[in-house]
Amino acid sequence: MTTPIEPTVELRKTKPKQGLVHGLFTNTKAMVGATILLIFIALALLAPFLFPGDPSRITDMASLEPSPEHWLGTTAKGQDVLALTVHGSRSSLLVGLTVGFASTFVGILVGLASAYFGKFIDESLSLITNVFLLLPGLPLLVILAAFLPPGLGTVIVVLIITGWAGSARVLRSQALSIRSKDFVAAAVVSGERAGRIMFREILPNMASIVMGTLLGCVIYGIGAQAGLEFLGLGDTSTVSWGNNLFWAGNEGALLTGSWWVFVPSGLCIALVAFALSLINYAVDEVTNPRLRKIKAPKPAADVVPETAATTLERSVTK
Q: Is 145 helix (H, G, I), strand (E, B) or coil?
A: helix
Per-residue confidence (pLDDT) for residue 251, from 0 to 100: 85
Short-list 273, 274, 237, 244, CA closest to 258? 244
Short-list 222, 82, 89, 208, CA closest to 163? 222
Amino acid at 211: M
Per-residue confidence (pLDDT) for residue 149, from 0 to 100: 80
Is residue 123 a contact partner of residue 134, using CB atoms and an 8 Å limit?
Answer: no
Q: Where are the alpha helices (DSSP H) in the chain?
A: 20-25, 28-50, 81-117, 119-134, 137-147, 152-179, 182-189, 194-196, 207-230, 241-250, 253-256, 259-287, 308-317
Q: What is the pLDDT along the chain (318 residues), one digit of tens a residue?
A: 445 544 444 444 434 345 677 778 888 899 999 999 999 999 999 999 999 988 888 888 888 889 888 899 899 888 999 999 999 999 999 999 999 999 999 999 999 999 998 889 999 999 999 988 887 777 877 787 778 787 788 888 888 988 899 899 999 999 999 988 888 889 888 888 988 999 988 998 888 899 989 999 999 999 988 988 888 887 888 899 999 999 998 888 888 888 989 999 999 999 999 999 999 988 888 887 666 655 555 555 555 555 555 555 555 555
Amino acid at 149: P
Short-list 294, 296, 295, 310, CA closest to 8? 310
Short-list 105, 235, 114, 213, CA closest to 166? 213
Helix (H) or strand (E) holding 199: none
Short-list 223, 271, 260, CA closest to 92? 223
Per-residue confidence (pLDDT) for residue 298, from 0 to 100: 56
Angle at 219 between CA 111 and CA 87, to 5 degrees: 135
Q: Alpha-carbon distance 288 to 296, whole Å?
A: 19
Q: Is 74 helix (H, G, I), strand (E, B) or coil?
A: strand
Angle at 196 between CA 191 and CA 198, to 5 degrees: 110
Q: Alpha-carbon distance 168 to 163, whole Å?
A: 9
Q: Alpha-carbon distance 282 to 291, whole Å?
A: 10
The answer for residues whose C-beta is within 8 angstroms of residue 166's C-beta and 6 or more apart is 107, 133, 216
State the DSSP code for 203.
G
Per-residue confidence (pLDDT) for residue 7, from 0 to 100: 47
Count other Cβ atoms within 10 Å, centred on residue 260. 21
The answer for residues whose C-beta is within 8 angstroms of residue 317's C-beta and 6 or more apart is none
The answer for residues whose C-beta is within 8 angstroms of residue 277's C-beta and 6 or more apart is 33, 215, 219
Per-residue confidence (pLDDT) for residue 158, from 0 to 100: 85
Per-residue confidence (pLDDT) for residue 4, from 0 to 100: 52
Per-residue confidence (pLDDT) for residue 284, from 0 to 100: 85
State in Å, rounded, how far the first CA of the chain is from the last one: 7
